[in-house]
């Protein structure tokens, strides 16, 4: 074996430096994401701090008032008596406690759940970045990395051990699976496996079902694979069906409650509707304003704004349209919006209006996908739109970064964005609670007060 000379050694060293440098945009985004997650813990967890009466935990940290409801499924794995967990209204989302239990058992509910949320988020983002890098290229992957690193839809949920934290990673992975099944060369086995994967994801958070199931049907219909729809439905249904049979048939869990039956009640209102021309006309008149509000604030304003900007920009120059997956998710979201907001009167939880924009959050994946494709394509062309595209993505990253780190300086912009995402408290409640309980992320401990 020949001895490596000095020139070979220097060449390898320089090649290694270039390789490391190529990862810096991704590592930088990762560090920002981890910092943003930390800045959403303790008293700064938005899902807790935006509530009028948050629950005070050890060290004076805050949780949502449903903290114990989300803890109830873990009692099953802890071996607690059935009467303590059989009445759980969230046990149907069984995959989340299954994944979180190893860390919860070792580190406790709060810390174990937080670490699980971060790991699930990182796993989902890693899968997404590898997919985007393969399909769009390095520029698109960097775009996705930074858009997700500062995305408030992650930090709103990540600081608390609740199943909502799977929304972002589950939608990212589901989008990859939709892409695989949407390919013209996709064999039926890929469709079955992709739909089964999506079905498994739905057992972690069934709130994704009104978006993902119609998106699957739309893709198959557009591909003219109508005969494959029954097979796809089997793949989608069997994980949830097996889950429900196990919970109800084996464990005796009551699956009928106010939380799980909301959409069934709305569907029944459609099936047994007594139509009123006046009410129907009033709802139609309100629809454009309502749609605009929900479009922007279901994803914290700046990301949807950037998406609209890119749609106009790309249409003006080269007409880059939506791909089949983006189209399917958007169509499903629109149908879901109309289903809720044009429904006849119904009892129970009201899912119409602007107060719960968060239920449309899953459409974020379309915005990130389109922006990543758009910037990747734009940078390959020497034109003035490059500057516009880069500037818009940069503004979005900075504005969203201001939101996710806003708790550290009691930002009114964060207050405004979180309030419009989920109006379960009064205006400026986020700022008020930060002033009341203090700005203390994880690691800054004090004993909770006797009366919140």
Name the DSSP class of 247: I
In which residue ranges of the chain is pLDDT below 50? 1-3, 13, 15-17, 19-20, 451-452
pLDDT at 258: 76
pLDDT at 17: 45
Question: With left for phi above 0 and alpha for psi between -120 and 50, is residue 156 left, alpha or beta?
Answer: alpha
Whole-number Å distance between alpha carbons of 180 and 125: 17
- DSSP element (H, E) containing 62: strand 62-63
Query: Which sign, positive or negative, has the C-alpha torsion 129, 31, 123, 308?
Result: negative
Query: Which sign, positive or negative, has the C-alpha torsion 122, 128, 134, 136?
Result: negative
Residues 6+ apart with CB under 8 A from 267: none
pTM exceeds 0.85 for this model:
yes
pLDDT at 449: 61
Helix (H, G, I), strand (E, B) or coil at 31: helix
pLDDT at 365: 98
pLDDT at 414: 95
pLDDT at 382: 54
pLDDT at 54: 96
């Amino acid at each position: 074996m020949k001895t490596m000379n000095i020139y070979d050694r220097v060449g390898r060293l320089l090649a290694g430096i270039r390789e490391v440098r190529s990862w810096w945009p991704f590592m930088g985004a990762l560090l920002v994401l981890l910092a943003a997650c930390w800045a959403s813990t303790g008293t700064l967890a938005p899902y807790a701090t935006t509530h009028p009466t948050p629950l005070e935990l050890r060290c004076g940290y805050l949780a949502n008032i449903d903290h114990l409801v989300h803890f109830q499924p873990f009692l099953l794995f802890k071996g607690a008596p059935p009467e303590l967990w059989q009445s759980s209204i969230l046990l149907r989302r069984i995959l989340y406690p299954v994944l979180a239990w190893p860390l919860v058992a070792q580190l406790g509910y709060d810390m174990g759940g937080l670490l699980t949320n971060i790991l699930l988020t990182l796993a989902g983002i890693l899968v997404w970045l590898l997919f985007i890098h393969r399909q769009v290229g390095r520029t698109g992957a960097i775009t996705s990395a930074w858009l997700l690193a500062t995305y408030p839809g992650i930090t709103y949920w990540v600081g608390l051990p609740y199943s909502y934290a799977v929304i972002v990673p589950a939608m990212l992975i589901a989008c990859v699976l939709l892409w695989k099944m949407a390919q013209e060369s996709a064999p039926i086995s890929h469709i079955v496996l992709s739909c089964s994967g999506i079905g498994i994801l739905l057992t972690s958070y069934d709130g994704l079902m009104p978006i993902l199931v119609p998106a699957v049907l739309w893709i198959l219909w557009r591909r003219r694979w109508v005969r494959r729809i029954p097979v796809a439905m089997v793949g989608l249904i069997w994980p949830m069906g097996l889950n429900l049979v196990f919970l109800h048939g084996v464990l005796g869990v009551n699956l009928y409650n106010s939380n799980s039956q909301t959409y069934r009640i709305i569907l029944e209102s459609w099936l047994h509707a007594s139509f009123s021309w006046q009410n129907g006309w009033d709802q139609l008149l309100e629809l454009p304003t309502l749609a605009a509000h929900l479009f922007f604030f279901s994803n914290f304003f700046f990301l949807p704004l950037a998406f609209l900007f890119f749609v106009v920009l790309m249409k003006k120059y080269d007409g880059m349209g939506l791909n089949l997956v983006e189209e399917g998710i958007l169509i499903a979201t629109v149908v879901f919006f109309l289903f809720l907001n044009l429904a006849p009167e119904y009892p129970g939880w009201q899912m119409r209006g602007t107060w719960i924009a968060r239920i449309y959050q899953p459409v974020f994946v379309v915005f990130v996908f389109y922006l990543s494709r758009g910037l990747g394509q734009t940078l390959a062309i020497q034109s003035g739109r490059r500057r516009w595209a880069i500037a818009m993505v940069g503004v979005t990253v900075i504005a969203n970064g201001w939101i996710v780190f806003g708790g550290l300086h009691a930002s009114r912009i964060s207050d405004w964005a979180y309030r419009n995402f989920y109006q379960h408290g009064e205006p400026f409640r986020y700022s008020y609670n930060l002033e009341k309980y203090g700005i203390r992320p994880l690691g800054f401990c004090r004993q909770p007060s006797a009366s919140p």
